Structure 1
């Protein structure tokens, strides 16, 4: 837990200490739609980003991640469960901060907050011989670091690393 808090503090400090730089690619008013998949756990994610200031975008995020704990724990049977995430995401594009002259590369940090609907407390019902799950709704806080590479003027491919959902995600971003 301490590592998660420390990681979150570092990401937040990076976000606020680099607010004075301005990228040519992300001016106030930009619009972007992101769609991706989880690369370490199976999942699907979508978000929109609306430029509220130079280099800063905010918008909604939704996602689904599937975990199979039966495979991870070595136990017999399928103990898989899904997580649904709904929330808001903010991103800060770091091209100017890192002095990247190639506009085709876009490093960024992002932070998502919201709620996750999850299954927990796996119970084996001896009467029905089935696995039962209890549902819970919890807040989530997902810091991420990513980079996008321009494929065309309005299309990018991206990869993200970070806490929450799948530890690694990849997909495409459409800029409007």
Structure 2
């Protein structure tokens, strides 16, 4: 875990130190998005999803990559613990040219994904026939997203998305390489 945080901070520093010109979105861009969700579509609709996605620009309008998210919550006074893990491919279409957006700091996009969702539940109560009860299942869900990025620096910005997947609203930071 320490290595992941170290890599994140090194990437953030390199992104902030870079002085290349702004560009909305272009072929060959490599993006790393890290954020949190507000709300969740899980069974009990609570918890704060933590998510990350990586994208590669296949053309000036199309990007694709992978999405990962995790959300966990306790229920009924903490006796039940529910966890969801989402992972899968996603693709986006970048609308700046179509919408005639000339501000190079904005990137407007939308797209879809297909995620594997693993759900697990654990009972940790004592003195019940449910002691140490565990269950899990895995399914595949379609996902839709619409979002925008705003670049504060040429390689660092913020993003927000609405849609269907791990969370109805996601916010975070983005790094462009």
Displacement of 1:123 in angstroms is 11
* 8 A Cα contact 2:83 2:121, kept in partner: no
Q: Which residue of 2 aligns with 1:118?
A: 119
Q: How does 1:134-149 map to 2 (within 5 A)?
A: 134-149=135-150
Structure 2: unaligned runs, 5 residues or longer:
1-22, 40-46
Q: Which residue of 2 aligns with 1:83?
A: 84
Q: Which residue of 2 aligns with 1:43?
A: 49
Report the 3-state secondary structure (helix = DSSP H, G, I; strand = E; otherwise coil) of the residue aligned with 1:97.
Answer: coil
The alignment's TM-score, normalised by the length of structure 1, stands at 0.73
Provide, for residues 43-84 of structure 1, a one-character-per-residue CA deviation record: whole Å limited to 9, x for no partner: 21111111111111111221102244x3xxxx5554341111
Q: Which residue of 1 aligns with 2:11?
A: none
* 8 A Cα contact 1:145 1:160, kept in partner: yes
Equivalents in 1 of 2:160, 2:68: separation in Å?
17
Provide, for residues 4-41 of structure 1, a one-character-per-residue CA deviation record: whole Å limited to 9, x for no partner: xxxxxxxxxxxxxxxxxxxx632222211111111234
Q: Tell me whether 1:172 sits opposite 2:177 in the alignment.
A: no
Q: Tell me whether 1:95 sits opposite 2:96 in the alignment.
A: yes
Aligned length: 148
Q: Aligned-pair RMSD on alpha carbons? A: 2.5
Cα distance, 1:164–1:78 mapped onto 2, change above 3 Å:
farther
Q: How does 1:62-81 map to 2 (within 5 A)?
A: 62-68=68-74, 70=75, 75-81=76-82
* 8 A Cα contact 2:89 2:114, kept in partner: yes
Larger RCO: 1 or 2 (CA < 8 Å, sep 6+): 2
Equivalents in 2 of 1:35, 1:170: separation in Å?
8
Displacement of 1:114 in angstroms is 2.5
